[in-house]
Amino acid sequence: MSTEAISESEFLREFTREVQNKNAAVFAGAGLSMGSGYVDWKGLLKDVIVDLGLDPDREHDLVTLAQYHCNKAKGNRGRLAQVILDHFGTTRAPTKNHHILASLPIRTYWTTNYDKLLEKALEAAKKVPDAKHTVSQLSATRPDRDVIVYKMHGDVEHSTDAVISKDDYERYERKMEPFIAALRGDLVAKTFLFLGFSFTDPNIDYILSRVRVQYEDSQRPHYCIQKKVTRNSGESKVDFEYRELKQHYFIGDLKRFGILTVLVVDYDGITALLGKVAAIYKRTSIFISGAAENYGTWAEADAKAFLFKLGHEFTAGNRVVSGFGIGVGSAVLNGVLTQLDSLGKSVTDERAVLRPFPQLDGGKGSKLRWTEYRRALIEYAGIAIFVFGNYRDPAGTVALSDGMREEFDICVTAGVIPIPVGATGFMAEVLWKQVSANLGKFVPSADARFKKDFAKLGDVTLNATQLVQLLRKLVARLQNN
């Protein structure tokens, strides 16, 4: 492995911090779209290169080759436009990488790709993308937009205007100067993750160079993920070591632009790494599941003090998510609001998601709708805390909450780490016993110290303050793991 590359742990720690602070941006190259079945630039121009009498396997300066085609066609770009439509006009589904990126709180995307995979993934994540591929679009804002997608080389639906030939690149600084200015600004103000990008694009090189010159001693760090060079079948050791050395120098050269590289063994490693970023980010969202018609051995005042502390303590540095369960939701909400007020923050979905369940008729349709409502809430979270868990059935008897059981099952299926507080009794106690019996299954990262503290969650002699402090320790370990 190149000594110029950074470790996975450093990348996860630093880039995830930028994601959490809403300072992250993405730059997507052709490699991000290839998993959907789209071609890279060489695949796009393969027939054009062959028609020039050249060998696609021996050619690498694809911008110049596109220009050769235009020269031969006396400036006619019709075939290039059709080639883009032929290869990118076919509807394809976004990859898992697209969907992971779309799930993160990233508001700025840049791409040299013509396809619409980013926009589709963002829409699937229920976000409104504002895609821009012309200068005139920069001054107009799509209503209710959540994300901006800058398509600096054009869009498949406007292939006649795509940037593809040497003429296009040479004119780019003059025709598309506002795009250059916008990207320069984002490179200064945001931390980029470059994916599927070769860094051979003349426009990007031009912009990165000018940012480097202007901010040479104070460049913002950026990151890229690359596949580690591996030895091909039948390849000589000398040839492999030559390619490995070139990658080493390439990674070192990217540091001139403040771009740090993390290497993965194969392309699936990129998906795994992005998945870890998403998992770490989601662990800053804490789902609190609870309902209580009866507080059991707890005095009502003590129970509400505990719930208040839960909302108050976990709002600092996290986002609290809750369905506003009966006997639980109001106390948690008061804790959240008090903490936000002390921090001088307003209530937004980025800080707290507190939504009461819809009042339905209780029939079969209602149960299905409640299930979907629970899934939607839990989708925000990476860690779930379960407290109390009871309701009064039609006969007036206090019963264990089947709704909490369902929320637990949804969490486990979704990969949300469950932390039931057994000391609160009822369904939470049942779930605590279940998790305790097989902690490694529910919390794979649990070490001996975590197991010891998790066991204390069933200690009924602990008071509200002690339980909340214990929960803070457990959550902090999960978030830092």
Strands 390-392, 398-400: pairing is antiparallel
| CA distance linking residue 446 with residue 45, whole number of Å | 51
| Residue 345 Cα distances to 237, 325, 338, 340, 386, angstroms | 59, 24, 10, 5, 26
| Residue 372 Cα distances to 292, 319, 365, 407, 408, angstroms | 22, 21, 11, 11, 14
Task: Enter the tokens of residue 451.
Answer: 């197991």
| Backbone Cα Rg of the chain | 27
| CA distance linking residue 293 with residue 305, whole number of Å | 16
266-274 long-range CB contacts below 8 Å, 24 or more apart?
266/227, 266/230, 267/35, 267/227, 269/227, 270/97, 270/195, 270/225, 270/227, 271/95, 271/96, 271/97, 271/100, 273/8, 273/11, 273/12, 273/225, 274/97, 274/100, 274/101
| CA distance linking residue 424 with residue 435, whole number of Å | 15
Question: CA 73: distance to chain centroid?
Answer: 44
Within 8 A by CB and 6+ apart from 186, the residues are: 25, 108, 110, 192
**Helix spans in 21-95 (H):** 30-34, 41-44, 46-51, 62-72, 78-88
Half-sphere exposure of 454 (CA within 13 A, CB side): 29
Catalytic-labelled residue, pool 153, 158, 222, 312: 153
| Residue 60 is a catalytic residue | no
| CA distance linking residue 425 with residue 460, whole number of Å | 9
Task: Enter the tokens of residue 452.
Answer: 């010891």
- Catalytic residue ranges: 153
